[in-house]
């Protein structure tokens, strides 16, 4: 199963236990494939610099660079395809959609209300981490 994880899911999966972490564990075990792009990894780096992540990053013992590099090694990089503006309220979300199209993803996994509200994009369903785990288990 081919997944594109929104950066909020990746950050949660790298820093805390829970459904997002179980998705990255599944990728490490070879149960699923995760796809990303340079743009999404750059966004991940930017959001991990937010103050709210400082304590969790310190607890990880590897720092931002180590977390991002570990994720980059886990994921397969694709070059996003151009798409028309889709999520007008948050244009950065379009990068996730463009990556998913380029990856021929089965699912987009997000906690973002704009993406989840879209529900489906060009036959790619957009679901939560918990829902994705349910699909993987099927």
Task: For residue 66, give the CATH number of its domain.
Answer: 3.40.50.1010
Model pLDDT, residue 24: 94
Q: 126 forms bridges with which residues in the sheet? A: 108
Name the pTM for this structure.
Answer: 0.95
Q: What is the mean pLDDT of residues 23-30?
A: 96
Cα 5–Cα 10–Cα 16 angle in degrees, nearest 5: 140
Model pLDDT, residue 138: 83
Q: What is the tens place of the pLDDT at every residue in 41-96?
A: 999 999 999 999 999 999 999 999 999 999 999 999 999 999 999 999 999 999 99
Give the domain extent around 98.
2-137
Query: Please, are residues 46 and 11 in contact by the beta-carbon 8 Å criterion?
Result: no
Model pLDDT, residue 13: 96
Domain total of the chain: 1
């Amino acid at each position: 199963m081919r997944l594109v994880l929104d950066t909020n899911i990746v950050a949660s999966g790298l820093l805390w236990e829970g459904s997002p972490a179980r998705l990255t564990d599944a990728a490490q075990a070879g149960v699923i494939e995760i796809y990303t792009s340079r743009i999404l990894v750059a966004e991940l780096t930017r959001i991990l610099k937010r103050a709210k992540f400082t304590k969790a990053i310190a607890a990880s013992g590897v720092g931002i660079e180590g977390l991002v590099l570990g994720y980059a090694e886990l994921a397969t990089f694709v070059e996003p395809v151009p798409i028309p503006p889709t999520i007008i309220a948050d244009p950065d979300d379009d990068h996730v959609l463009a990556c998913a199209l380029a990856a021929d993803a089965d699912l987009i996994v997000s906690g973002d209300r704009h993406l989840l509200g879209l529900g489906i994009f060009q036959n790619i369903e957009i679901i939560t981490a918990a829902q994705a785990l349910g699909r993987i288990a099927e």
